[in-house]
A and B are shown apart, each in its own frame.
Chain A
C-alpha cells in the first residue's frame, strides 16, 4: 500500500529539513515542472486525478482551478491561499501534515500557484498551531534560500512569494470567504457567493483557496500522474486520505488510508477498536459538521459519494465515535455549544438560533426539557439548514442534530419524561 502523504513522517521524529526533503525526492516535481510544463497542463493533470477538496467539501480541485480566469483576461495580482485554519472539532489531520512534513506543503504550494499562475501565496494557519507556524516559517526561509521561491524561479519566469499568516482564532475563518475577509484585516464573516473567490477573491483579485491536505497531494500527482493517483484508492475511489478517529477507541489518531476504506476497518484495525467496556453507538464520520452514522451502517466506505448515498458527508474524514456510556444529548449539546459560540453573528438564524438550540439541549440533558422542545429542535434543523443561512456553519451544526433527533429519539424522550439524564 503506497501512502505518499505521510511517507516522510516518522512518529516522534523532527520533520525533514530542506536538504532531507530533497534527499527523499522532494522538489523534484518542481524542477520537472516549472518552465517545462505549461500551467494548463498541470491543471489538467490535477483535474484528471479525481482529487477532491480535503477541507470537507470534496469539490474537485481541478475544476476549482479551471474557474480561475486566464492571465490575459485578468491581468494583475492573483493569489493562492492554503487554508490551514483547522478548527473543526475532532479534526487534526492537517496538523499531522503541517508538523510532520512542512516541505511537502511548500512544494505543493509552488506547483499549485504555478498551475493557477498566482504570484503570491498565503498560508492561513490556525494561531494555536504554534509549532506548525514555526516549522512553516523555517521551511519557507529554507526554500527561499535555495532559490525555489522568489523571482524567476529556476529561470522559468515564474515568481512566487509565500507568507505565513497566523489566524486569530475563529472557526469561521475556515470558511474560505471569511478567511479572505480576515486576511484582508476585516471582520471574519463570510462573503456572498457568487462571485466566487476565483474571480473576486482576496482584495477583489482572482484567488484559489485550497486545504492543506489537498495541496500536499499535488506534488505526488504532478510527479506520478493522474492515473497513478487514481490507482491509490480502493474500490474505484481515487487517492489516499488522512483519516482519523477520536473517542473511546484504543488507538485514537490520524492515519493515511486509501480513499474508500470501510469505516469499520478504519475503526477496528487502524484505531484499535473500542476500549474495553465501551460499545460503539454511532460515528460522526468527518468532524462536527457531519451527521451520525449508526453502528449498523459502519461498513460504509469512507468516500465522498458513499457518504452522500447515506445522506451524509465525508467532511474532513476524521471520525468522532460516540460510545454507549456517553449521553447522546450531552454530546449534541456540547457540539452545539461550540457552533453557537463560533457563529460569526452575521446572519440571524445562525446567530440567534444556535444559542437557542444549545440552551434547549442543555435543558433537556439537565432534566428540564418540556413538551414542544423536540418539535422546536426539529424545526430548527430546517430553519437553520442548507439554503436558509448565509453560509454552511449552521447547516453543518444541524447535521448532527437532525440525525441525532432521528436516531436517539428514545433518549430524548426519556430525558424529558424522567426529568433527568439516564446516563447520570
Chain B
C-alpha cells in the first residue's frame, strides 16, 4: 500500500510494509544506521538511526525513536534534522568509536567503509575518550576471511547473517558487555559456504577478503565492471575489479530478483582461476611449441577447410561462442559438449521451462512451500540453496499478520515464529543442506524419487488428501518445485507444477542445472555427444572451452585426425590437442550466459591485460573469414553477432535486447585521490585508455550515471557498497521463457531402463583458484 509521510516538512512517499528507515533511505534521505540490513531486517541494537516522530498535529515535543523499528503510517510526521536526534546520533558514533582503532590507512575497507560514511554523516569529528581501548586477539578464520576484531563496533550483522540467515553454527557471538566477541569457538576455517558475505555485511573492516588483501587496491583505484558469475547456473550478478590488468576481487552486484545482496564463496573466491598457473595464455601446437595468435587462427582456418569437421560446444562457454562454432561447422555437425546423461537433463529442463512458469531465485525465496526433488542444491547451485533456506526460515505470513508484527521486525518475527517454518519438503537420494529446516525428508533411490515425482503430480490432480506432499503444495499460495538429477525427475517435477496450475495454484518450477550456460547450450539444438563418437575417426574435431574427458570421451579421441581445443585453462583436452588455442575467459571478453531461470545475462570485458586473447567467438570468426566460410564483414562486433544469432535461433533472440541504458557507462572510478594518471606510480602521463568498442561500457571514467548495470554503487556521502540502499533498482532483466503454456499436456514418464548417472565432479574453473584450493586443504 502506498502512502505519504512528512519528513522535515517535505512529503515523502512510503510503503506500508517498509519501516521508517528504509522509507527515508529510499527517498534519498540520509539516516545513518549500522545494525539494519535490507535482507536481515531490523533488530534495533545499534540505536544509530534515531529520528524524532510526532504524535499528531499538536505534538511539538515529539519523541526520539529508532527509524528501523518504526512502522510508517499515513501522515506520520518525522524529523531527521531535529537537534536532539542529531546529537544522539553523533553520540552513538562517538561511543562505538571509543574502541575502534582508527587504523583506516592500513585497513582494506578504508574509503569504502560504512562506518566512515556514517561518522561523516553524523558530523562527529573530535575524539573525547582518553581511556584505554578494549582489545581482542584475532582468529585464523581460514583462507577466505581475515579477522580484525578490534575494528568491531558490535552491530551483530555478521552473526545474524551467518547463523540466522545462512544457517551456520560454527561462528557466533561470545561474551558480554564491551567484551562481546564475534568469532569461532577456536581458530579454524569458517565452515559456511557463504562466509565471504561477512566481508560485505560488516559495516567496517572486521572481516576482510583475504585473497584480495594480498593484491589490495583502494576501491577508487580499481576498474570495476558489471559481470556474471561463471561458476554455476545461477549466474549471480557480480562486479569484477582489476587494476593494471591484474584481477583483484569479486564483489556482489545487487539484483533484486536474483542474488540480492549475497554471493556464495565459490563465486566470490573461485574467480581466482583467471590468475592460476593453469591459465592458458598462449596457443600451442601438438609439440608444445608456442604459436602466435595469428598463426593459431590460420591453423584453425586450415582445419576448418578439411572434410568432416565436427564441433563440440560447451555449457561453460558463452552463447556467442557456441553459436560461432555451430555456424562454422554447420548445425548438423555441432554437438553438445555434455555427457548424454546431462544432455537429457538439459533437454528435459528446456522442454519443461517452455510450458511451466519458471521460478526466479526471488520466487523461491518467497515461496510458502518448497518441494525439493533429487539433488542437494548446495553443491550444484549454492545461492539457490541459500534462497531455499530463507523460504523455510521466513516466519509464516499469517502468523505475523495475526500478531501484527511487520515482516521487517526480525527480532519479533523470529520470537513469534519460535521455530515454526514454511513447508520445505526434501525428497532426495542423499542428505541435503536443507534437511535441518525440512518438514518432510524422504530418502530413496534416484529411480524411486523420480517415480515419486510423477505420483505426487497424480495425487495433486486427483486432489488426493492422503499424500502430505501433494496436500501441502495444493494448500500453498505460491509453491516452488525444485528438481535436479535426472531427466525423468525434471519432467515429473514439471507435471507437479502443471497439475497445481490446473487447480489454480500459482506454482513455479526451478530446475537445477550445473553450469553457467547449460540452458543457453540446450537452446542451441546441438546433437547429443554420443552421436559424435562413431563419426570422429579421421574427423577434424574442434572443441570449444571444454574438457571432453569430463564428458565421457575416452580413447576414441586418439583416432581423430585433428583435435583443436579452444580454451582459457590448460585441461587434459588441451594437452591432448593437436592445436590448442588460447582464448579469453568471462573476465576479459564479452558474452552471454543463460542461467537456470532462462535469464539471459551479458558479461563484459572487465580486465585489460597486456597478453589478452580474444573471445572464442572472435577467434572462430577470424578463422572462418580466413577459411572463406563467413563473409569478411561477418560478426564484426558483438552486437552484429547477436543480430545474426537472433535471426538464426529464435529461442535465443531475446539475448539481443539492447542493454538497459542509453549512454556509455564508466568503468574507471573518479580520481578521488587526486592522482592524475591511473598508473602515476610508474608514469605521471595519462596513458591512452584501452580501446574496447564492442562493449556498451566505456573504459574510462567518462560516462553516464547509475543504472542497473552500474558496476559499483556510490551515492553522495555513501562510499561503501551500502549506497545501494539509497538507489532505485534498475531495469528488468531478460527472461527467455516468459510464456508458459496454459493447460499444457502432462509429460510422459521416460521409458525404462533409465540411464546410469556418472559421479559428479567438482566445478572445474573455481577448483583452480588458489583460494579455493587453500580452503579445500584447510
Partners in one complex: yes
| A352/B63 in contact, CB under 8 A | no
| B177/A348 in contact, CB under 8 A | no
| B178/A343 in contact, CB under 8 A | yes
A344 to B173, CA, bound (A): 12
Please give, as numbers and ranges, the residues of chain A lying within 8 Å of B483 by CB-CB distance. none
**A359's closest neighbor in chain B, by CB?**
B131
| A195/B177 in contact, CB under 8 A | no
| B96/A203 in contact, CB under 8 A | no
Please give, as numbers and ranges, the residues of chain A lying within 8 Å of B130 by CB-CB distance. 370
What is the 8 Å Cβ interface bit string for chain B, positions 140-166, against chain A (1 contact, 0 not)? 000000000000011110000000000
| A352/B45 in contact, CB under 8 A | no
Given known pairs A348-B154, A351-B177, A356-B129, the reply for A192 and B43 (CB within 8 Å) is yes
Q: Which of B128, B156, B173, B417 contacts A204 (CB 8 A)?
A: B417
CB distance from B489 to the nearest CB of A (A): 37
| A187/B173 in contact, CB under 8 A | yes
Report the stretch among B16-24, B405-413, B435-443, B503-511 that lies at the interface: B405-413
CB distance from A310 to the nearest CB of B (A): 22
| A191/B64 in contact, CB under 8 A | no
**A379's closest neighbor in chain B, by CB?**
B91
Given known pairs A192-B43, A346-B45, A347-B46, the reply for A200 and B96 (CB within 8 Å) is no
| A191/B411 in contact, CB under 8 A | yes
Please give, as numbers and ranges, the residues of chain B lying within 8 Å of A348 by CB-CB distance. 34, 45-48, 92, 95-96, 153-155
Please give, as numbers and ranges, the residues of chain B lying within 8 Å of A356 by CB-CB distance. 95, 98, 129, 131
**B131's closest neighbor in chain A, by CB?**
A359
Report the stretch among A254-262, A321-329, A384-392, A406-414 that lies at the interface: A384-392
| A353/B95 in contact, CB under 8 A | yes
A312 to B443, CA, bound (A): 64
What is the 8 Å Cβ interface bit string for chain B, positions 408-449, against chain A (1 contact, 0 not)? 010110011111100000000000000000000000000000
A390 to B44, CA, bound (A): 7
| B416/A192 in contact, CB under 8 A | no
CB distance from A70 to the nearest CB of B (A): 14
| A204/B180 in contact, CB under 8 A | no
Q: Which of A188, A195, A352 contacts B96 (CB 8 A)?
A: A352
A415 to B686, CA, bound (A): 63
| B412/A191 in contact, CB under 8 A | yes
Interface residues of B in 63-78 (CB under 8 A from A): 63-65, 69
- Main SS class of interface, B: loop
| B64/A387 in contact, CB under 8 A | yes
Q: By CB atoms of chain B within 10 A, which of A200, A363, A376 has the most?
A: A200
In this assembly, does B685 line the interface, its C-beta being within 8 Å of a C-beta of chain A?
Answer: no
Interface residues of B in 59-107 (CB under 8 A from A): 63-65, 69, 87-88, 91-92, 95-96, 98-99
**A172's closest neighbor in chain B, by CB?**
B176
Q: Which of A345, A349, A355 contacts B92 (CB 8 A)?
A: A349
In this assembly, does B179 line the interface, its C-beta being within 8 Å of a C-beta of chain A?
Answer: yes
Please give, as numbers and ranges, the residues of chain A lying within 8 Å of B95 by CB-CB distance. 348-349, 352-353, 356, 383
| A390/B45 in contact, CB under 8 A | yes
A170 to B177, CA, bound (A): 11
In this assembly, does A224 line the interface, its C-beta being within 8 Å of a C-beta of chain B?
Answer: no
In this assembly, does A157 line the interface, its C-beta being within 8 Å of a C-beta of chain B?
Answer: no
Q: By CB atoms of chain B within 10 A, which of A203, A347, A363 has the most?
A: A347
In this assembly, does B353 line the interface, its C-beta being within 8 Å of a C-beta of chain A?
Answer: no
CB distance from B138 to the nearest CB of A (A): 19
Chain A contact-residue range equals: 35 or more
In this assembly, does A152 line the interface, its C-beta being within 8 Å of a C-beta of chain B?
Answer: no
| B176/A192 in contact, CB under 8 A | no
Please give, as numbers and ranges, the residues of chain B lying within 8 Å of A187 by CB-CB distance. 173
In this assembly, does A156 line the interface, its C-beta being within 8 Å of a C-beta of chain B?
Answer: no
CB distance from B35 to the nearest CB of A (A): 8
Chain B contact-residue range equals: 35 or more
Q: Which of B180, B404, B418 contacts A351 (CB 8 A)?
A: B180
Q: By CB atoms of chain A within 10 A, which of B87, B129, B155, B415 has the most?
A: B415
In this assembly, does A342 line the interface, its C-beta being within 8 Å of a C-beta of chain B?
Answer: yes
| A389/B409 in contact, CB under 8 A | no
In this assembly, does B403 line the interface, its C-beta being within 8 Å of a C-beta of chain A?
Answer: yes
Q: By CB atoms of chain A within 10 A, which of B43, B47, B98, B153 has the most?
A: B47
| B178/A203 in contact, CB under 8 A | no
CB distance from B510 to the nearest CB of A (A): 31
A170 to B131, CA, bound (A): 26
**B156's closest neighbor in chain A, by CB?**
A346
| A195/B412 in contact, CB under 8 A | yes
A195 to B405, CA, bound (A): 8
Q: By CB atoms of chain A within 10 A, which of B98, B128, B153 has the most?
A: B128
| A343/B91 in contact, CB under 8 A | no
Please give, as numbers and ranges, the residues of chain B lying within 8 Å of A12 by CB-CB distance. none
| A351/B178 in contact, CB under 8 A | yes
In this assembly, does B607 line the interface, its C-beta being within 8 Å of a C-beta of chain A?
Answer: no
CB distance from A347 to the nearest CB of B (A): 5
A204 to B399, CA, bound (A): 11
In this assembly, does B469 line the interface, its C-beta being within 8 Å of a C-beta of chain A?
Answer: no
| B177/A340 in contact, CB under 8 A | yes
Please give, as numbers and ranges, the residues of chain A lying within 8 Å of B91 by CB-CB distance. 349, 379, 383
Please give, as numbers and ranges, the residues of chain B lying within 8 Å of A345 by CB-CB distance. 154, 173, 175-180
| A352/B412 in contact, CB under 8 A | no
Please give, as numbers and ranges, the residues of chain B lying within 8 Å of A376 by CB-CB distance. 128
Q: Which of B87, B154, B415 contacts A200 (CB 8 A)?
A: B415
Q: Which of B47, B87, B99 contacts A347 (CB 8 A)?
A: B47
In this assembly, does A341 line the interface, its C-beta being within 8 Å of a C-beta of chain B?
Answer: yes
A322 to B155, CA, bound (A): 38
Given known pairs A345-B154, A345-B176, A348-B92, the reply for A195 and B403 (CB within 8 Å) is yes
**B48's closest neighbor in chain A, by CB?**
A348
Please give, as numbers and ranges, the residues of chain A lying within 8 Å of B129 by CB-CB distance. 356
Given known pairs A352-B96, A388-B88, the reply for A347 and B45 (CB within 8 Å) is yes
Given known pairs A345-B176, A347-B47, A348-B45, the reply for A387 and B412 (CB within 8 Å) is no
| A355/B48 in contact, CB under 8 A | no
In this assembly, does A199 line the interface, its C-beta being within 8 Å of a C-beta of chain B?
Answer: yes
| A191/B415 in contact, CB under 8 A | yes
Please give, as numbers and ranges, the residues of chain A lying within 8 Å of B92 by CB-CB distance. 348-349, 383
Q: Which of B128, B175, B405 contacts A372 (CB 8 A)?
A: B128
In this assembly, does A194 line the interface, its C-beta being within 8 Å of a C-beta of chain B?
Answer: yes
Please give, as numbers and ranges, the residues of chain B lying within 8 Å of A194 by CB-CB distance. 412
In this assembly, does A205 line the interface, its C-beta being within 8 Å of a C-beta of chain B?
Answer: yes
Q: Which of B65, B180, B403 contacts A199 (CB 8 A)?
A: B403
Given known pairs A348-B95, A383-B88, the reply for A390 and B47 (CB within 8 Å) is yes
A341 to B177, CA, bound (A): 6
| A192/B411 in contact, CB under 8 A | yes
**B99's closest neighbor in chain A, by CB?**
A352
What is the 8 Å Cβ interface bit string for chain B, positions 105-147, against chain A (1 contact, 0 not)? 0000000000000000000000011110010000000000000
Q: Which of A204, A205, A352, A363 contacts B98 (CB 8 A)?
A: A352
Please give, as numbers and ranges, the residues of chain B lying within 8 Å of A349 by CB-CB distance. 47, 91-92, 95
A385 to B87, CA, bound (A): 14
CB distance from A186 to the nearest CB of B (A): 10
CB distance from B593 to the nearest CB of A (A): 43
| B128/A195 in contact, CB under 8 A | no
Please give, as numbers and ranges, the residues of chain B lying within 8 Å of A353 by CB-CB distance. 95
A360 to B44, CA, bound (A): 27
- 11 pairs across A/B with beta carbons < 8 Å? A195-B416, A345-B173, A347-B44, A348-B45, A348-B46, A348-B92, A348-B96, A355-B98, A356-B95, A379-B91, A390-B45
| Extra A-B contacts (5), CB below 8 Å, given A351-B154, A382-B88 | A194-B412, A195-B404, A204-B419, A352-B96, A387-B64
**Interface residues, chain A, with chain B CB atoms under 8 Å away:** 170, 187-188, 191-192, 194-195, 199-200, 203-205, 340-349, 351-356, 359-360, 363, 370, 372, 376, 379, 382-383, 387-390
**Interface residues, chain B, with chain A CB atoms under 8 Å away:** 34, 43-48, 50, 63-65, 69, 87-88, 91-92, 95-96, 98-99, 128-131, 134, 153-156, 173, 175-180, 403-405, 409, 411-412, 415-420
The 10 closest A-B pairs by CB, nearest first: A204-B418, A345-B180, A352-B95, A383-B91, A359-B131, A343-B177, A203-B418, A345-B176, A200-B416, A192-B411
